[in-house]
Amino acid sequence: MNPTEFVDALQAHGIELNQHQIAQYQRYYEKLIEVNQVMDLTNIIEQDQVYLKHFYDSLTLAWADISLQDKPLKLVDVGAGAGFPSIPLKIAFPQLKITIVDALQKRINFLNDLVIDLALEDVAIIHGRAEDLGKKGSSYRESFDIVTARALKAMPMLVELTLPLVKVGGELLAMKGSRVEEELKAASQAIPVVGGQVFEQVNVDLPNGDPRTVVIIKKAKGTPTKYPRKFSDIKNKTL
């Protein structure tokens, strides 16, 4: 998927990019490849693959939940790595208020530089862990409309790490591949324990046929104060 095909594919979903936004995606690609030479940000470096498997893939969230396209939602991206999916979403939908959380300082430095380079506003970059931000007493707990994570953890761990950050009535947008049904089954007990309810599974397969599903988990009730637990407990004894 070259940049022109990327723009056309978004048009097919009713998303129109202006020239400034198109230039921002190109600069994002250039910055990613430049920094990737000295820091391991991604194994995907060919332009066509970056546009397809990073940029386009990130934007599939916007047709799984169309409110991302025009509402000033507060979105937190947990374990964003090189900025996926939150930065591609922010470029296309600048009204979004983005918070990015990552535990590695080198990635935080890259993201801070990227946000400045792309002249993005309303983007906060936090060096930290989701289980710390979501704990009782944190100002971030249950403060976001949407939480998302891409290739972070399997669903049972993912919901405990992320749903405590979401306000009641908000949602987790979980980006999953071919094992989505297996993961949902494994998380069938964990999801309601932390206040969630599976709302919908939206098929967003990539144009090349790669399977993609966005699982929308609504925050139906407040998360009990004992969650999230310490990461070692989440990892060693999933709900």
Tell me if 134 is assigned to a ligand binding site. Answer: no
Tell me if 79 is assigned to a ligand binding site. Answer: yes
Burial of 234 (C-beta count, 10 Å sphere; 0-12/13-18/19+)? buried
Cα–Cα distance, 36 to 174 (Å, whole number):
26
Tell me if 81 is assigned to a ligand binding site. Answer: no
3-state secondary structure of 106: helix
Tell me if 6 is assigned to a ligand binding site. Answer: no
Cα–Cα distance, 7 to 4 (Å, whole number):
5
Cβ atoms of residues 125 and 100 within 8 Å? yes
Classify the C-alpha dihedral 231-184-212-88 as positive or negative: negative
Tell me if 183 is assigned to a ligand binding site. Answer: no
Q: What's the 3-state SS for 161-204?
A: HHHHHEEEEEEEEEEECCCHHHHHHHCCCHHHHCCEEEEEEEEC
Instruction: Provide the annotated binding site for S-adenosyl-L-methionine.
Output: 79, 84, 130-131, 150
Instruction: Provide the annotated binding site.
Output: 79, 84, 130-131, 150
